Amino acid sequence: MAKESLKTVAAMEGCYQGFNPAAYLQYNYTAPRADFDRSDSIVPWKLSCLHRALTEDDIRGDVLVDVGSGPTLYQVMSGCERFNRVILSDFLEVNRRELQSWLQKGKSSLDWTTYFKYVCELEGRSSSAWTKKAERLRAVVSDVLPIDVHQSCPLSQGTLPPCGADCLVSSFCLESVSPDLTSFNIALSNISSLLRKGGYLLLIGALGESFYMGGPGLCIPVVPLDEAQVCVSLRASGYELLQLSIYHLPTDMKVGVDDVTGVFFAKAKKY
Ligand code: SAM
């Protein structure tokens, strides 16, 4: 990587030092963005995309890796039923601690109950099955690991089977941790090295976003992406794009914690 690029990756790393998991959860994972009574709310849309993507091709396997989990669990609530082992990962210890706290003690800065109930309903189960789903998630998460998507080997060696994971999920990570598009594309290639040939990538990300708040007063720069660029980047990283869905933000979802205009959901298969 060029020296200049390295400097800016280091600057991004610096931005994350003040990241506040509880504030981030409050900004993005409560109403109106997580309003389960509204069909146009962001979180129900994301959960439905994940559910559909996994069920329509009956995607299953041994290992699922979630790249850049942050302090959130929603992105693996469907996948935990379909894989024997789920690995969560984040660059920051403060986020890994937040996840471990829920896994080990059931404690979290956010109550995930309504999320579990919603995914149970998507799966055709009664919402009262949510405790079983929470148990299942706790049982299949084998590790919460440090990860750096800017490294050619983002996870420490030997973590995954030699052929790689069967499925990768990553939500709002690559564009939020990269200083520019070149770095975003390199990060996408780096995480692809974790996936086996023929494995699936479920990538969720922000469109048209230039910043988001990682806590009070902490403005984190984001690479603004558009739909066409997402397609180009995925193909250049060796993926067949199977599905691209776009969510346009209703005005009242613009709550002042970022300048995102939309969200993409991509399902892609590694050649
Ligand atoms: N996946 C979560 C979600 O859907 O809300 C969190 C996304 S948050 C916008 C970006 C995450 O990337 C943060 O949790 C941050 O700690 C993590 N991160 C920062 N630098 C990273 C890096 N170099 N490699 C991997 N993850 C990184």
For residue 116, what is the domain's CATH number? 3.40.50.150
pLDDT, average across residues 231-240: 98
Residue corresponding to tokens 């660059």: 91
Q: Which two tokens stand for residue 212?
A: 């988001």
* pLDDT recorded at residue 105: 85
The pick from 98, 156, 177, 220 for probing ligand 1's pocket by mutation, whose C-beta has the most ligand atoms within 8 angstroms, reads 177
Q: Residue 264 belongs to what domain range?
A: 3-270
Q: Which two tokens stand for residue 49?
A: 């995309």
| Average pLDDT estimate for 249-270 | 96
CB 102 within 8 Å of CB 112 = yes
Percent of the chain at pLDDT exceeding 90? 96
Query: What are the pLDDT digits (tens) for 134-145?
Result: 999 999 999 999
Q: Quote the ligand 1 centre to 22 CA distance (angstroms).
A: 14
State yes or no: pLDDT of 214 exceeds 80.
Answer: yes
What average pLDDT does this structure show over 229-238?
98
**Interval 200-219 mean pLDDT:** 98
- Per cent of the chain over pLDDT 70 is 97
Number of domains composing the chain: 1
Between the alpha carbon of residue 192 and those of residues 91, 103, 219, the distances in Å are 17, 27, 28
> Would you give the DSSP letter of residue 266?
E
Ligand 1 pocket, residue 211 CB under 6 Å:
no
Q: For residue 17, what are the CA distances in angstroms to 10, 50, 94, 109, 177?
A: 11, 30, 10, 19, 12
Q: Whose CA is nearest to atom 1 of ligand 1?
A: 69
Q: What is the pLDDT of residues 57-70, one digit of tens each?
A: 999 999 999 999 99
Tell whether omega for the bond before 32 is within 30 degrees of 0, i.e. cis.
yes
Q: What is the ipTM of this complex?
A: 0.99
What's the CA dihedral at 159, 163, 166, 171 to 10 degrees?
60
Q: Are 175 and 225 in contact (CB under 8 A)?
A: yes
Per-residue pLDDT band for 258 (boundaries 50, 70, 90) equals very high
Using alpha carbons, select from 32, 34, 90 the residue that is nearest to residue 66.
90
Q: Angle at the Cα of 56 (from 58 to 199), degrees rounded to 5?
A: 55
70 Cα: distance to centroid of ligand 1 (angstroms): 5
Three-class DSSP category at 232: helix
| CB of 63 closer than 6 angstroms to any ligand 1 atom | no
For 85-110, how does the pLDDT look when each residue is reduced to its tens digit (9 = 90+)?
999 999 999 999 999 999 998 899 99
Q: Taking residues 203-231, what's their average pLDDT?
A: 97
The mean pLDDT of 123-146, rounded to a whole number, is 97
- Is 41 near ligand 1, meaning CB less than 6 Å away? no
Closest by alpha carbon to 171, among 87, 52, 46? 46
Pick the closest to residue 167 from 75, 38, 90 (CA basis): 75
Q: What is the pLDDT of residue 51?
A: 98
pLDDT digits (tens, 9 = 90+) for 22-37: 999 999 999 999 999 9
Q: For 172, what's the count of Cα atoms within 13 Å in the CB-facing half-sphere?
A: 25
